[in-house]
Structure 1
Amino acid sequence: MDPTDVAADIDLDGTAYLNWGASGPAPDRVLRAAREEQRRHERYAHSTADPYGYAGEQFAATREAVAALLDTVPERVALTDSTADGISRVANAVDWQAGDVVVRTDLEHPAGELPWDRLREEGITVREVPCPGGRFDRAAYREAVDGARLVCFNAISWFHGTHLDVEWATEVAHEAGALVLVDAVQSPGQAALPVEAWDADFVVAAGHKWLGGVWGAGFCYVRDPERWRPRHLGYYAIDDYDAPDQPAYHPDARRFEVGTNSLAPYAALREAIDVHEAVGLDTIRERQRGLVERVQDALGDRLVSPREPESGLVAFDCGEEPTARAFVEEARDADVLVRSVPRDGWVRASVHAFNTGRDVDRLVDLL
């Protein structure tokens, strides 16, 4: 499949959509998969009097699809509602003690900040590591993780579009005795997720951005599921309801799942994964790079992201926040969708292989 085939399957009525890093529009075939799954569950599964058994089969199929995407095994995959949901489930699985330390970077999305801020109320200390230019300050990171219980950071910075060195950061954290939680939501659909090579304890992501799924389907990789007894708990986490000692968790990552979810977002996630496999990650990256470079060339010294493209996230400096907001509004009036990010005066375009050259040209004309 060619990226242009996917682009043709996304009708946005003339809008140049360059905000995939926030939410990606699903191709029509992904939307059809969601609708058809919802109907099968509401009609076929209920007519057989086994809607729960049918749902279990579909969730299992989704874990298998996600495991293939991550190059891991289904037993290490838990289904979640979103990345933020996955982070919160991890936060609620750790047996925190007053005096524990959480380390995060200054690049985190609120999803990677709020759970730890809440834990301050229970005596947890939160340390923040600077990442100038979207890179780890390695000396500051080593110092911060010393004595930490858990470290949380992005795989790709949602500000700069840079790839952080996940393997290095995980190794350093583990040497210090800390757990590692990676927010990888900017990766699916535009970058590989080699979770086994990363060796992190947890990796969370979702399918509604670059992957082109729909809202409501996330996932969490758990390296050592049996180690955890999550407090965010529901019947989906339980293996044996008749066991004398409850809760009798599943022996795998399903212990991080909770309860009844709609099947539609997970059917969409499977279809979105199939679309990307049909196109191929190398093809996606090659086409995306060419489009990104066209934007970068027009930006000149306003470019904040690396000159050598690392992702489809292209940040540029408009000088001050009101100017950035004004540019976003001007672009919206021209049916070109980008966004500002919480850095003084920055605007971010998210360029995908599924964009067209004309999409990029329309942004360049505004620059």
Structure 2
Amino acid sequence: MFTLLDEFAQAPGLRYLNHAAVGPWPKRAADAVASFAQENVLLGARDYPEWMKVEQRLRERLMRLLNAPSTDDIALVKNTSEALSFVAFGLDWREGDQIVISDEEFPSNRVVWEALKPQGVEVIQVSMASEDPEQALLQACGPRTRLLSISAVQFATGIRLDLDRLGHGCKQRGVLFCVDAIQQLGALPFDVQASQCDFAMADGHKWMCGPEGLGVFYCRAALRPQLKLSEFGWHMLEHMGDYSRREWQPASSARRFECGSPNTLGAMALDASLSLLEEVGMQRVGEALAERVLWLEEGLSTIAGVRLHTARDPQRRAGILSFSIDSMPATQAWPLLMQQQVVCLPRGPGIRFSPHFYTHSQVIEESLQAVARIAAL
């Protein structure tokens, strides 16, 4: 029986509120990597088939985390940007096509679409300042709109969107629906079937508490053959492992997006991290995270000179809470917080706090005290 204190035994005095950037590993992930490293030293790749069983188990965990219909819908990718690029440069665009995004997207979900400009594709950015951002996004989808691509949770302000509503609206309009899930997957329950996602992607190094360099790409089965491939190799073949075969075709599964050797080291760590989320259960993870965000919100609200930028409505947020201090810019306040071992980042209109489900109450209280001291300067 594990305890969260054992799994996340962070350095004394550290107040880690930065999961929206890079999340710490649980102990079991470090143990899995250490064991894998020792196996490589002693045995090399003697037991490679066993490594592939871990990779398959990881696909199954990711399938459950996204509620995908099958592991065939899951590709293991380097990162969110790679998966977005598979969509952007895989679809058959026509001059005059439009893509709708928000005006608060992380560069990964903006630059990749703007890179299609030479093909005559137009990117429409919709303001998130609306009282009904879902309506604003859907209203921007006109007869030339081919795709709506949106972050489930905006990286700076932390606003969470109603994906089910957006997915339903896209289907009514015949628009493809792509979700950058990196700020929700591992923080709150996520369901590609309920939201009718065509594509969804996320890195493992934030709320999933895994390593950098390994993420997930969900592609709806009917759309896989429609994405033109740009990377080719032995691993993406239907008959992978039959090295004598001269005729070849891409795998019918999402493995078609995995051109070469897998990130086995990353798979060991991410599989272990996801095992922890599964043992806790995503419903409990989401509830515990919501409690911690509420503690921070209530505490920050009592500090004179502090303004909140993240929505107060619990349905409009996930694990991100953004705030600013009236007496100084975020770029000045952030180093002062870091000096007090409050790990966070300046993002968008202010400073971004992002706890996780396991964050101890002492970390929250001490972080609030640090903000109060800085606000009083």
Which residue in 1 is equivalent to 2:18? 19
1:228 lines up with 2:227 in the alignment: yes
Which residue in 2 is equivalent to 1:251? 252
Choose from 301, 315, 323 the match for 2:322: 315
Contact 1:102 1:148 in 2 (8 A): yes
Counterpart CA distance in 1 for 2:283 and 2:137 is 34
1:261 lines up with 2:224 in the alignment: no
Identity across matched positions, percent: 25
SS in structure 2 opposite 1:195? coil
Q: Which moved more, 1:55-64 or 1:327-336?
A: 55-64
Which residue in 1 is equivalent to 2:330? 324
Which residue in 1 is equivalent to 2:296? 295
Counterpart CA distance in 2 for 1:129 and 1:63 is 34
1:215-257 Cα distance to aligned partner (Å, 9 max, x none): 11100111122333322333322114777765x1111111111
Which residue in 2 is equivalent to 1:359? 363
Change (3 A) 1:189 1:93: same
Which residue in 2 is equivalent to 1:304? 309
Number of residues of Structure 1 aligned to a counterpart in Structure 2: 359
Contact 1:134 1:159 in 2 (8 A): no
1:201-226 Cα distance to aligned partner (Å, 9 max, x none): 10101221112111111001111223
Q: Deviation at 1:47?
A: 3.4
SS in structure 2 opposite 1:294? helix
Q: Deviation at 1:159?
A: 2.3
Contact 1:292 1:312 in 2 (8 A): yes
Contact 2:91 2:226 in 1 (8 A): no
Counterpart CA distance in 2 for 1:152 and 1:41 is 41
The one-letter code sitting in structure 1 at the alignment partner of 2:180 is: D
Contact 1:312 1:352 in 2 (8 A): yes
SS in structure 1 opposite 2:159? coil
Which residue in 2 is equivalent to 1:336? 342
Aligned positions of 1:1-367 closer than 5 A: 4-5=4-5, 9-40=8-39, 43-44=42-43, 46-47=45-46, 51=48, 56-72=52-68, 73-132=70-129, 136=133, 138-139=135-136, 141-224=138-221, 225-240=224-239, 248-300=249-301, 302-309=307-314, 310-319=317-326, 323-343=329-349, 346-365=350-369, 366-367=371-372
Could you tell me which runs of 5 or more consecutive residues in structure 1 were left unpaired when the two chains were aligned: none
Change (3 A) 1:245 1:131: farther
Contact 1:3 1:353 in 2 (8 A): no
Q: Deviation at 1:141?
A: 3.0
Counterpart CA distance in 2 for 1:340 and 1:168 is 31
Counterpart CA distance in 1 for 2:112 and 2:339 is 36
Contact 2:285 2:357 in 1 (8 A): yes
The one-letter code sitting in structure 1 at the alignment partner of 2:211 is: V
1:8-43 Cα distance to aligned partner (Å, 9 max, x none): 533234210101111101012111112323444565
Counterpart CA distance in 2 for 1:292 and 1:232 is 41
SS in structure 1 opposite 2:363? helix
The one-letter code sitting in structure 1 at the alignment partner of 2:320 is: L
Counterpart CA distance in 1 for 2:294 and 2:136 is 32
SS in structure 1 opposite 2:364? helix
Contact 1:156 1:186 in 2 (8 A): yes
Counterpart CA distance in 1 for 2:45 and 2:282 is 38
Contact 1:94 1:230 in 2 (8 A): no
Q: Deviation at 1:286?
A: 3.1
Which residue in 1 is equivalent to 2:375? none
Q: Deviation at 1:55?
A: 5.0
TM-score by length of 2: 0.87
Q: Which moved more, 1:138-147 or 1:177-186?
A: 138-147
Contact 1:77 1:221 in 2 (8 A): yes
Counterpart CA distance in 2 for 1:43 and 1:80 is 28
The one-letter code sitting in structure 1 at the alignment partner of 2:5 is: D
Q: Which moved more, 1:159-168 or 1:271-280?
A: 159-168
Contact 1:93 1:232 in 2 (8 A): no
Q: Deviation at 1:342?
A: 2.5
The one-letter code sitting in structure 2 at the alignment partner of 1:60 is: Q
Change (3 A) 1:100 1:305: same
Counterpart CA distance in 2 for 1:57 and 1:166 is 33
Q: Deviation at 1:125?
A: 1.0
Change (3 A) 1:57 1:4: closer
Q: CA RMSD in A?
A: 2.5
Q: Which moved more, 1:200-209 or 1:115-124?
A: 115-124
Change (3 A) 1:217 1:43: farther
Contact 1:35 1:264 in 2 (8 A): no
Change (3 A) 1:336 1:145: farther
Counterpart CA distance in 2 for 1:134 and 1:231 is 40
Contact 1:229 1:249 in 2 (8 A): no
Contact 2:100 2:149 in 1 (8 A): yes
The one-letter code sitting in structure 2 at the alignment partner of 1:269 is: L
